[in-house]
Structure 1
Amino acid sequence: MSFLSRIMVLKSKAHFSAGPRGHESEKGLTFQGVRKTSGQQARSRIAIMIGAFTLVYAVIGGRLVYYGMTPPETVSSIRPAENQVASRPDILDRNGEILATDVRTVSLFAEPHKIVDPDEAVELLSTVLPNLDRKAIYKKLTSNSRFQWLQRQLTPKQQSEILSLGIPGVGFRPAKRRFYPAGDAAAHVVGYVNIDNRGVAGMEKYLDNQGLADLAAIGMTSTSELEPVRLSIDLRVQNIIHDEIKRGLTDFDAIAAGAVVLDVNTGEVLGMASAPDFDPNNPGETIDLKTKSGMNRMSGGVFEMGSTFKAFTTAMALDSGKVSMNDTFDARKPLYIGGFTIHDFHATRRILSVRDVFIHSSNIGSARMADAVGVEGHREFLTRLGLLTRMETELPEVAAPSQPKTWKKITSMTVAFGHGVSTTPLQTAVAGAALMNGGKLLPPTFLIRNQEQANEIAKAVVNERTVENMRYLFRANVLDGSGSRANIAGFNVGGKTGTAEKVVNGRYAGNVRFNAFLSAFPVENPKYVVLSIVDEPKKAYKGCGVTAGCNAGVIAGNIIRRAGALLGVKAKFGPDGNALLVSY
C-alpha cells in the first residue's frame, strides 16, 4: 500500500472537530453540522409559541371565570328578552291598597313569510280566538311584511292552546297588562292605559307626563320593579263616594252625579268620583261617548255652581270690611238693574240680616252685598280664591273656568248668586276649604302631602274673623236652612246649597237644574270639605222636591255619615259633646 493510500485510510478512520479557527479540538469535541443546529432552533420557536398561546388562553379563561362569578350589571338599554316590556309603577292608595298594577301576559304575532297555509292558520287560530277578525288576520298573514301583530294580551290558557296547534310562523312576545283591582270605583282618578301600557287618562297619564313615557320610548326601562306611587286617595272613602253617587243617579233620576272629599288643612283629595263612569280594565267597552261617561265632571267639567257662590259673596263682603254681621239688606221687593230683574226663589219680602240672606239664599241680598264691594273688588276676590283661573293639580283632566269678557255692575250682581261664572266642582271645593281652614288657599293634590309641605305653599286669602263668621253661617244653614238633610248627628255639619238653572238653547231653563252642596265638618274646627253635585235631577226625594238640599245635600250627608269615623272624626253627642249613644 502506498503512502498516500495509508494516509487516506487513516483520514477516513479519524474523527475531527473543528475549533474556532478550524484547528483540531484539543478536548476531543465533535464537529456539529448545519442540520443539527436548525432542528434545535425550530424546537425553541415551537416552545415559545406554545407558551404564548397558553398565556393568551389562560387570560381568556380567567376573564370568563371572572365574568361568570360577577353579578349581572343593570344596564337600562341592554335587557333580557323577557324584560324588554316597559314596566309601570304600582299605584297605591294612602293606606297601601293597590289601585293599579302590572300583570304579565303575552301577545301573539306572525311572520307572514314563514306561514305555509294562511287559510289553515286562520281556521286554527279561530278555534282558540273565536272573536278574531278572520278577514283582517288573513290579510296580515298574506302580506309582504315580516312581522304582524295578531292578538295582544292573551291569557295563559289561550297561549297554551295556540302552542298546541303547532302553527309554523306564529309566536309570542312577552307583554304587560294593567290591572285595576278597584274597578270603576276610582276610574276617573286613577285613569287607564292603552294597549301599549301607556297612560291615557287620570294619574296614569300624569305618570307618563313626568317622563315615564319618554324613558320607555327610548328603551330606558328598569330591570327592577319601580317604586310604587302612593296617592292621597283613601280607597275606603272612595268606595263610599262611588256607592252614594251611583245610588243618587237612580234615586233622583239624574244624568250625572259626583262628589269629592278634601282635607282642608293639606289640600289632599281623600276621594273623588263622577258618574256615569267606566271600567278601566275594559275602557273601550265601557266608555260611552254619547253619554260622556268617560268625562270627569268633578275636575274636567265646568258648571254654574248656583247659590254655593253666595258663600264666596258673603265671605267677600265680610272680608272687605264694608259689610258686617250686623248689617241688613232690603229684600222686600225685586231688584231692577239694567233692564234685568233680580228676585228671590224663596221670597221673604222683608229686611234681611247677613244670616238671613245666607240661610234663605237670597239673590237680592247677595246682589246688594256684591254692589257694596264693587265690580273690581268682586272680581279680584274670586281671582284670589282661584275661581277664575285654571286650577293647578296633578290630574290632567282639569277644565278652565269661564267668565264674562267684561264685568259690569249687573255682571257682578248676577255672579254674586252664581250666574255668569262657570267653574269645576273641585275648584269650588278648594275655594270653600279656604273659608273653613283659617283662610289659606291650598292647591288640591292627589299625592300624599303632609302639613309642613302644605304650610309652605299655603296662601292667605281671607282673615280669621271672616272664617269664624263663615263657619257660623254654614252651621246655621244646616240647622235652620236648606241644608238640613245633611245634618248628620254627632258630626256638626255645615254647608251651603246651590240650585242652578242650566242654559238650554241660550236661555236659562227653569226645569233643568244643576245642583250642588258645599259642606264642611266638624264645623267648629273643620277637617274636611265635602262637595256633591247632581246634574239634571228629575225625581223628588221622599216628597222633598228636586232642589239641591233634596238631592246633593242628601248625598253629602250620607258620605259624611259613612266616612266620618273612617276619616278620624269622633262623633260628639249631647250639649257638651261628651254624651255617648247607648243601645240595649
Structure 2
Amino acid sequence: RGDVLDRNGVILATTLPTASLYADPAKVIDAAEAAEMLAATLPDLDYDAVLAALTSSRRFVWLRRGLTPSEHYQVNRLGLPGIAFQNEERRYYPHGPLAAHAVGFTDVDGTGLAGIEKTFDRELRTDGGPLRLSLDVRLQALLQNELQVAIDEFQALGGAGLIMHARSGEILAMVSLPDFNPARPEAGPAIGRFNRTTLGVYEMGSTFKVFNTAMALDSGIAGLNDGYDAREPIRIGRYTINDFHPQRRWLSVGEIFMHSSNIGSVHMAVAAGTRRQQDYLDRFGLLAPPAIELPEVASPMVPTPWREINTMTIAYGHGMAVSPLQLSAAVAATVNGGILLTPTLIPGDRSDRPTGTRVLSAATSDTMRRLLRLAVVSGTGGHADAPGYLVGGKTGTAEKAVGPGYDRRALLSSFVAAFPMTSPEYVVFAMLDEPRGNERTFGYATGGWVAAPLVGRVIERMGPMVGLAPLDPEAPEIREALHVDLPRAETAGPSLAAFAN
C-alpha cells in the first residue's frame, strides 16, 4: 500500500512488515497455560477469549494481528506449541493522531475505512507510488497545539481549526479535537473519530455577517455611505433581536460590520430579500455539501420553509448550519477577488486547477478586505491582530440549539481570519465548543475573547514558516490599500428609504 505524504514529503502513513499471531488448537498441549502466558505477555488480550480460541475445533484461529517487533520477540521466546506467526503488513502512522481525520485509517487487512485512506483506497493499493497531500505537517502541529491549549484553558468540549490557501483552495491544516490514534481507532471514544471540520455543521454566529455585508454591497442594496437605524431592538412575533455591543444610533454599513450589529445586519438582509439571500448563500457554496476528497462530509442544515424570520436570523448566523470547511472556503472567496474555489487536500500546479466560480465582483472583494481589517483594528476582532501580518477577520458567537430554543450558557465561539489583507494568501479558522470564560477574559467566552487570540497566535507563528515577512501597517501604501472611509450615519441612506417603503 502506497505511502501518504504531506506537501513537503513528510510521511503521514506508511506500510511496514509485521508478524501476526495465530494458533492451531489441535497442536496446543495445555490451552489454559498457553492462554495465561499469552494474556500476561500481551495485556490487551482477554484470557477467556484466548482460551476459547485455543480450545475450538478449528485448525486456524487468529489471536492477535499486527504485533510490534518487541511483542513478536516476547511471544516467540515463550516457545508455546501450536502457537505460530504469519508475516503480514501493518499500516503505520508516524505522527499518531496528528492529521488523523484527514488521513483516516485502514482495517487490519489494509482496506481504507476513513479519510484519504478510504477515498483513495484503490489507488493506494494498486499504484504503489506515494500520495502527496496539501497538508503541511508543521502547520498541522502548530494549529493542533494552539487549539488544544485554548480548549484546556477554557474547558471547552472540543474544537475545530483550518488553514486554507485563499488562492488555490488547498487545505494546509485540518484539526478536529478531540482526535484519535489512527493505528487503533477503536480504542478511544467515538467522538474522537468525528471530524468537526467537515462532518460537523454549526450555526456560525456573526461570521455570517461577512456574507450578509458582501451581499448588500455587491447587489447594490447598500453602499458604505448608507445607514440603518440600530437604536432599538427588532421585535418580530415573540422574538427580539438585540445587539451584543449596542451603539443605540444610526449606523453606516461599515459601522454595522465593525461593531457586529445584529440589528443593522437584519435591516440589510430584509432589504435584500429572501430570494437574493438564498442566491448569494448558494453562490458562496453554503447551501450544498462541499466537494473535498473525504467521505466524511455533511450537508448544511437550511430552513424549510425559509420564512422572513429565517432571513433575519441567518443575517447574523442563526437558523442555518454549515461546516467550518464551507465557511472557510466562502471567506476565501470573499477576500481573494471574489472567486469560489473547490477546497482540496491534493496539491497541484495552479494551471491544473479549475478557475473557480465568480461569486462577487473584484470591487466588492476589495471593500470586504478593508472591512475585515477594520473589524480587527477597530472592532470586535482586536485580539486576533498579529503584528506585521495585517490580519482581517470576523468574530462569531452562537448559542447552541437545545430543544425548541437556545442555551445562552452553551456557546460555539469562533473566529475566521485572512492575511495579509493587502493581498490575502491564507484563511485561518478556529472554533471552540462550549468554552467557559475565565478571569483573563473577564468571564467572557465569546469568539472575540477565546477564538480570536488563538487565531492571532497561529498567524504570528505560521508567518515565518510560510515565508511571509512582517509588513509595516503604517506604511503609506498599506494605509492607502486598507483605508475605509467610514461615515457616521445620522439619517437613512437611499437603500434604507427603499426598505422603509
TM-score (norm 2): 0.91
User: Match for 2:135: what amino acid?
Assistant: I
Out of 552, 557, 560, the position equivalent to 2:459 is 560
User: Match for 1:317: what amino acid?
Assistant: A
Note the C-alpha offset of 1:113.
Answer: 3.0
Question: Is the CA contact 2:390–2:473 (under 8 Å) kept in the aligned structure 1?
Answer: no
Moved more, 193-202 or 360-369: 193-202
Aligned length: 477
Moved more, 428-437 or 508-517: 508-517
Distance (Å, rounded) in 2 between the aligned partners of 1:161 and 1:89: 30
Q: Percent identity among equivalent residues?
A: 44
Distance (Å, rounded) in 2 between the aligned partners of 1:377 and 1:512: 32
2:487 corresponds to which residue? Answer: none
* Residue 384 of structure 2 is aligned to residue 486 of structure 1: yes
Structure 1 residues 273-288: aligned runs within 5 Å: 273-285=175-187, 287-288=188-189
Distance (Å, rounded) in 1 between the aligned partners of 2:103 and 2:255: 42
Alpha-carbon spacing, 1:270–1:370, altered in 2? closer, same or farther (3 Å): same
Note the C-alpha offset of 1:167.
Answer: 3.3
1:143 corresponds to which residue? Answer: 56
1:231 corresponds to which residue? Answer: 133
* Residue 246 of structure 2 is aligned to residue 347 of structure 1: yes
Note the C-alpha offset of 1:540.
Answer: 3.0
2:488 corresponds to which residue? Answer: none
Distance (Å, rounded) in 2 between the aligned partners of 1:407 and 1:468: 31
* Residue 255 of structure 2 is aligned to residue 356 of structure 1: yes
Question: Is the CA contact 1:103–1:179 (under 8 Å) kept in the aligned structure 2?
Answer: yes
Distance (Å, rounded) in 2 between the aligned partners of 1:427 and 1:244: 22
Alpha-carbon spacing, 1:314–1:541, altered in 2? closer, same or farther (3 Å): farther
> Whose RCO is larger (CA < 8 A, sep 6+)?
2
Note the C-alpha offset of 1:453.
Answer: 2.5
CA deviation profile, 1:343-402 (whole Å, cap 9, x unmatched): 212211101001110011111111111111111111111011111111110022211110
The alignment partner of 2:135 has SS state of coil
Out of 367, 392, 397, the position equivalent to 1:469 is 367
2:8 corresponds to which residue? Answer: 95
The alignment partner of 2:457 has SS state of helix
1:510 corresponds to which residue? Answer: 408
Alpha-carbon spacing, 1:260–1:106, altered in 2? closer, same or farther (3 Å): same
Moved more, 537-546 or 497-506: 537-546
- List gaps (5 residues or longer) in structure 2: 479-501
Structure 1 residues 113-124: aligned runs within 5 Å: 113-124=26-37
Structure 1 residues 228-377: aligned runs within 5 Å: 228-285=130-187, 287-289=188-190, 292-377=191-276
Note the C-alpha offset of 1:157.
Answer: 3.5
* Residue 47 of structure 2 is aligned to residue 134 of structure 1: yes
Alpha-carbon spacing, 1:491–1:124, altered in 2? closer, same or farther (3 Å): closer
CA deviation profile, 1:183-232 (whole Å, cap 9, x unmatched): 22222222222222222222222222x465xxx6xxxx68xxx2111110
Note the C-alpha offset of 1:409.
Answer: 1.7
Question: Is the CA contact 1:244–1:559 (under 8 Å) kept in the aligned structure 2?
Answer: yes
Distance (Å, rounded) in 1 between the aligned partners of 2:260 and 2:228: 13
Note the C-alpha offset of 1:295.
Answer: 1.5
User: Match for 1:557: what amino acid?
Assistant: G
User: Match for 1:236: what amino acid?
Assistant: R
The alignment partner of 1:185 has SS state of coil
Question: Is the CA contact 1:435–1:462 (under 8 Å) kept in the aligned structure 2?
Answer: yes
Distance (Å, rounded) in 2 between the aligned partners of 1:469 and 1:275: 34
Alpha-carbon spacing, 1:344–1:154, altered in 2? closer, same or farther (3 Å): same
Question: Is the CA contact 2:376–2:382 (under 8 Å) kept in the aligned structure 1?
Answer: yes
Out of 95, 99, 103, the position equivalent to 1:190 is 103
Question: Is the CA contact 2:412–2:431 (under 8 Å) kept in the aligned structure 1?
Answer: yes
Distance (Å, rounded) in 1 between the aligned partners of 2:393 and 2:129: 40
Question: Is the CA contact 2:140–2:173 (under 8 Å) kept in the aligned structure 1?
Answer: yes
Moved more, 175-184 or 231-240: 175-184
Distance (Å, rounded) in 2 between the aligned partners of 1:402 and 1:329: 29
Note the C-alpha offset of 1:134.
Answer: 2.6
Distance (Å, rounded) in 1 between the aligned partners of 2:146 and 2:476: 28
Distance (Å, rounded) in 2 between the aligned partners of 1:179 and 1:573: 45
- List gaps (5 residues or longer) in structure 1: 1-87, 580-584
Distance (Å, rounded) in 1 between the aligned partners of 2:78 and 2:241: 77
* Residue 305 of structure 2 is aligned to residue 403 of structure 1: no
Note the C-alpha offset of 1:161.
Answer: 4.2
Note the C-alpha offset of 1:250.
Answer: 1.3
CA deviation profile, 1:63-91 (whole Å, cap 9, x unmatched): xxxxxxxxxxxxxxxxxxxxxxxxx2111
Distance (Å, rounded) in 2 between the aligned partners of 1:386 and 1:130: 50
Question: Is the CA contact 1:252–1:541 (under 8 Å) kept in the aligned structure 2?
Answer: no
Distance (Å, rounded) in 2 between the aligned partners of 1:570 and 1:457: 28
User: Match for 1:514: what amino acid?
Assistant: L
Alpha-carbon spacing, 1:140–1:352, altered in 2? closer, same or farther (3 Å): same
2:114 corresponds to which residue? Answer: 201
User: Match for 2:330: what amino acid?
Assistant: A
The alignment partner of 2:98 has SS state of helix
Note the C-alpha offset of 1:469.
Answer: 0.8
2:329 corresponds to which residue? Answer: 430
2:317 corresponds to which residue? Answer: 418
Distance (Å, rounded) in 1 between the aligned partners of 2:334 and 2:439: 30
Note the C-alpha offset of 1:510.
Answer: 1.7
The alignment partner of 1:267 has SS state of coil
Distance (Å, rounded) in 2 between the aligned partners of 1:529 and 1:127: 51
Question: Is the CA contact 1:268–1:446 (under 8 Å) kept in the aligned structure 2?
Answer: yes
Question: Is the CA contact 1:541–1:550 (under 8 Å) kept in the aligned structure 2?
Answer: no
Distance (Å, rounded) in 1 between the aligned partners of 2:420 and 2:37: 65
Distance (Å, rounded) in 2 between the aligned partners of 1:195 and 1:123: 25
Question: Is the CA contact 1:541–1:551 (under 8 Å) kept in the aligned structure 2?
Answer: no
The alignment partner of 1:349 has SS state of coil
1:61 corresponds to which residue? Answer: none
* Residue 421 of structure 2 is aligned to residue 526 of structure 1: no
The alignment partner of 1:481 has SS state of coil
The structure with more radius of gyration: 1
4+ aligned runs moved over 6 Å, structure 1: none
CA deviation profile, 1:558-583 (whole Å, cap 9, x unmatched): 1000001212222112622899xxxx
Distance (Å, rounded) in 1 between the aligned partners of 2:240 and 2:78: 78
Note the C-alpha offset of 1:340.
Answer: 2.9
Question: Is the CA contact 1:439–1:460 (under 8 Å) kept in the aligned structure 2?
Answer: yes
Structure 1 residues 9-88: aligned runs within 5 Å: 88=1
